[in-house]
Amino acid sequence: MMSNMTNPTMISDSHAHTQEPALKMEGVSIYYGSTPAIREVYLDIPPHQITAFIGPSGCGKSTVLRCFNRTNDLIPGAQVKGNVFFHGVNLYSKKIDPVEVRRRIGMVFQKPNPFPKSIYENIAFGARINGYQGNMDQLVENSLRKAAIWDEVKDKLKESGLSLSGGQQQRLCIARAIAIQPEVILMDEPCSALDPISTLRIEELMQELKAQYTIVIVTHNMQQASRVSDKTAFFNAEATEQGGKLGYLVEYNDTVNIFTNPKQEYTRDYVSGRFG
Amino acid sequence: MSSSPYSGSELPDIANSDFQPNLSKRYALDQVFEQLTWIATFIGLLVLCLLLYDIISDGASRLSWQFISSFPSRRPATAGLLSALVGSIWLLCVTAVLAFPVGVGSGIFLEEFAPDNFFTQLIEINIGNLAAVPSIIYGLLGLQVFARLMRPITGGPSILTGGLTLALLILPIIIVATREALRAVPNSLRQGGFAVGATRWQVVRDLILPQAIPGVLTGTILALSRAIGETAPLITIGALTFIAFLPPLSLEGLQTDFTALPIQVYNWVSRPQPAFHTNAAAGIIVLMLVLLLMNTTAVLLRNKFQKGRM
Ligand SMILES: Nc1ncnc2c1ncn2[C@@H]1O[C@H](COP(=O)(O)OP(=O)(O)OP(=O)(O)O)[C@@H](O)[C@H]1O
Ligand SMILES: [Mg+2]
């Protein structure tokens, strides 16, 4: 059961140390049951930048991403070893409440999953349950504006979030993530169900958001990674003796370097499409 | 046997195809199956209609306000089922108040909160088994535990005892229905809730339950419909058949003796006089009307909540 051991001061304020990484992984290995899925990841996510995770299907990108907001906790049998730091605080320390972590580190999923509530409620829900004290109407409008969807929905805030198109739903989900004023937004293939125009809008959106937020995005689209991200991490999976696959971080660098001058052969093959 | 419903459609032939669509045979199977399902439906309906016809032709003439508003009597012409009808409604309310929160609560716990371990799997299997236990066993349990051991609280074979027994009887059905309804809610909704910093209870209360409530209500009302028709456990706990008063609308009312519609019907059927058999048929019609009312409520409630959610 999720005990409430919150100590809000445990997670320090972001703006105090902008030079330090927003998120840091130190020797993180992740297991599903007794099967390892990811081994020994060391990774620094810089603040106010966009970091892209790329790699073949099943190499563990989503698994690593879920580590940052402790959503792996919700999967029965999933286990995280090693340390994940958020502004220097270990997210997996006993004193940290995962519910608080998830408010500070938001998430957008691959498939748009708006709540079956009104558009307004979709945004207000997270704020309300987290005890937001400010003006709710204002928050809803601001969040929808930041997610570049305000003009499309301002006249039908009472309608169901499910009545929107896929691309609009995804932007609604981004607005929902913004509304709880996180510092980091994790995005797991946010554009994989969208058409090129919606994809472009969301990419533009990310560029605007990075002034305020740290963004980590998983993508299968090489162009997208090279277009939007500042840093890129390439993950790969190797066959294990038990016949399974074990993911690991191959290379992590500035996006330009990953795409024009990768150090590893694997990376070169993958980004140039000669993989496999 | 008739074949394709699209006779005359002529797509250009493809030479040397590896496929042998054999459409006429597949359509024939299609029709055979359709007819089988139709026959199955028809048999069910036929039996139901025959039963209804039999009961209505026997009992409809006896239905009157006098019949509904009179207490039982030794003379069939003046006998009525007021105390049985009121007793059944009382029982139903007590059963619902007891079984709904416990059943839905256990369903939510098992589905949303409990870890998946040996202990919970044991509970799961046992709930499945409990749903299949004959109702008379519940009656025996009710007799010993509620009517005898808990006599100071329940007042013996009272409405409370009956309600507790019936609540136990339908608890497994409500738990299973609740779990089914919760399981039908997609996981992405839970993930979305957790991702905005909701606790487990907030996710369940604000996101999952509103989606599941129509299914939960339907399951509960169907379970209550089963309870209202139960005779064996009530007879076992010692419900009386001759009650010439109405339980007072108070807590003491819960501890009074009672009778219920199926018991009254059972009693009338076992009398030798044919006039009582007519009464029994009329009693069954009343019982069925109550059931119809409940099922209609179930459908209306479900529609209301389905419209309410987005
Ligand atoms: N809930 C789970 N339970 C058990 N194993 C899991 C679970 N989720 C993922 N895995 C395993 O972990 C490995 C990594 O999965 P993950 O979803 O992180 O890959 P991915 O890189 O995100 O793939 P994709 O690009 O296809 O989304 C896979 O081998 C997968 O089978
Ligand atoms: Mg993935």
A115 lines ligand 1 (CB under 6 A): no
- In the reported structure, the alpha carbon of residue B285 is separated from the centroid of ligand 1 by a whole-number distance in angstroms of 59
Atom of ligand 1 nearest to the CA of A77: 3
Where exactly are the structural domains of chain B?
75-308
CB pair distance less than 8 Å for B189 and A111: no
The Cα of A13 is separated from the nearest Cα of chain B by a number of Å equal to 18
CB pair distance less than 8 Å for A129 and B197: yes
CB pair distance less than 8 Å for A125 and B206: yes
In percent, the amount of chain B with pLDDT more than 90 equals 43
**Chain B interface mutation, best of A69, A115, A157, highest count of B Cβ atoms under 10 Å:** A115
- Decide if pLDDT at A195 tops 90: no
pLDDT digits (tens, 9 = 90+) for A57-100: 989 999 999 999 999 888 888 999 999 999 889 999 889 999 99
Q: What is the mean pLDDT of residues B15-37?
A: 88
- Decide if pLDDT at B125 tops 60: yes
**Chain B interface mutation, best of A3, A97, A102, highest count of B Cβ atoms under 10 Å:** A102
Identify which has the larger pLDDT, B307 or B77: B77
What homologous superfamily is domain B75-308 in, according to CATH?
A: MetI-like (1.10.3720.10)
CB pair distance less than 8 Å for A177 and B195: yes
Q: What is the mean pLDDT of residues A152-172?
A: 91
A36 lines ligand 1 (CB under 6 A): no
Rounded Cα–Cα distance for residues B195 and A122 (Å):
13
- Decide if pLDDT at A193 tops 80: no
Among residues A221, A223, A236, A234, the alpha carbon closest in space to that of A57 is found at: A236
Q: Is A109 on the interface with B (CB under 8 A)?
A: yes
Q: Average pLDDT over chain B, rounded to whole? A: 88
Which of A59, A64, A218, A249 is the best mutation target for the ligand 1 pocket, counting ligand atoms within 8 Å of the beta carbon and taking the most?
A: A59
**Least confident among A9-23, B104-118, B141-155, B211-225:** A9-23
Number of domains comprising chain A: 1
CB pair distance less than 8 Å for B196 and A102: yes
CB pair distance less than 8 Å for A176 and B196: yes
Q: Which tokens sit at B247?
A: 């339980």
Residues of chain A in contact with residue B115, where contact means CB-CB under 8 angstroms, are 76
Q: Is A190 on the interface with B (CB under 8 A)?
A: no
Among residues B236, B292, B293, the alpha carbon closest in space to that of B260 is found at: B236
Specify if A5 maps to a domain. Answer: no
CB pair distance less than 8 Å for B191 and A99: no
| pLDDT for B8 | 60
Q: Full-prediction pTM beyond 0.80?
A: yes
Atom of ligand 1 nearest to the CA of A220: 25
Q: What is the mean pLDDT of residues B223-238?
A: 88
Per-position DSSP letters for chain A, written without gaps between them: -------GGGS--GGGGSSS-SEEEEEEEEEETTEEEEEEEEEEE-TTSEEEEE-STTSSHHHHHHHHTTGGGGSTTEEEEEEEEETTEETTSTT--HHHHHHHEEEE-SS----SSBHHHHHHHHHHHTT--S-HHHHHHHHHHHTT-HHHHTT-TTSBGGGS-HHHHHHHHHHHHHHT--SEEEEESTTTTS-HHHHHHHHHHHHHHTTT-EEEEE-S-HHHHHHH-SEEEEEEEEE-TTS-EEEEEEEEEEHHHHHHS-SSHHHHHHHTT---
Q: What is the mean pLDDT of residues B214-218?
A: 89
Among residues A272, A270, A274, the alpha carbon closest in space to that of A56 is found at: A270
Q: Is A61 on the interface with B (CB under 8 A)?
A: no
pLDDT digits (tens, 9 = 90+) for A228-274: 999 999 999 888 887 788 999 999 999 998 888 888 888 888 888 76
A2 pLDDT band (50/70/90 cuts)?
very low
CA atoms within 13 A on the CB side of B141: 14
User: Are B290 and B195 in contact, with CB atoms under 8 Å apart?
Assistant: no
Residues of chain B in contact with residue A99, where contact means CB-CB under 8 angstroms, are 197-199
pLDDT digits (tens, 9 = 90+) for B239-281: 877 777 777 777 777 888 888 899 989 988 888 888 889 999 9
A34 lines ligand 1 (CB under 6 A): no
Size of interface A-B (CB pairs under 8 A): 77
A75 lines ligand 1 (CB under 6 A): yes
| pLDDT for A104 | 93
Q: CB-based burial of residue A219 (10 Å sphere; 0-12 exposed, 13-18 middle, 19+ buried)?
A: buried
Residues of chain B in contact with residue A100, where contact means CB-CB under 8 angstroms, are 197
Structural domain boundaries, residue A233 = 21-271
Q: Is A8 on the interface with B (CB under 8 A)?
A: no
CB pair distance less than 8 Å for B197 and A1: no
Helix axis angle for B209-229 and B274-308, nearest 10°, is 180
CB pair distance less than 8 Å for A180 and B196: yes
| pLDDT for B7 | 65
Give all strands of the β-sheet with A184-188 in edge-to-edge order. Answer: A89-90, A78-86, A23-32, A35-45, A245-254, A231-239, A50-54, A214-218, A184-188, A105-108
Atom of ligand 1 nearest to the CA of A30: 12
A246 lines ligand 1 (CB under 6 A): no
A173 lines ligand 1 (CB under 6 A): no
Domain of A120, CATH number, reads: 3.40.50.300
User: Are A64 and A55 in contact, with CB atoms under 8 Å apart?
Assistant: no
A11 pLDDT band (50/70/90 cuts)?
very low
- The nearest alpha carbon in chain A to B113 belongs to A1
**Chain B interface mutation, best of A2, A101, A107, A113, highest count of B Cβ atoms under 10 Å:** A113
A267 lines ligand 1 (CB under 6 A): no
| pLDDT for B79 | 84
- In the reported structure, the alpha carbon of residue A229 is separated from the centroid of ligand 1 by a whole-number distance in angstroms of 23
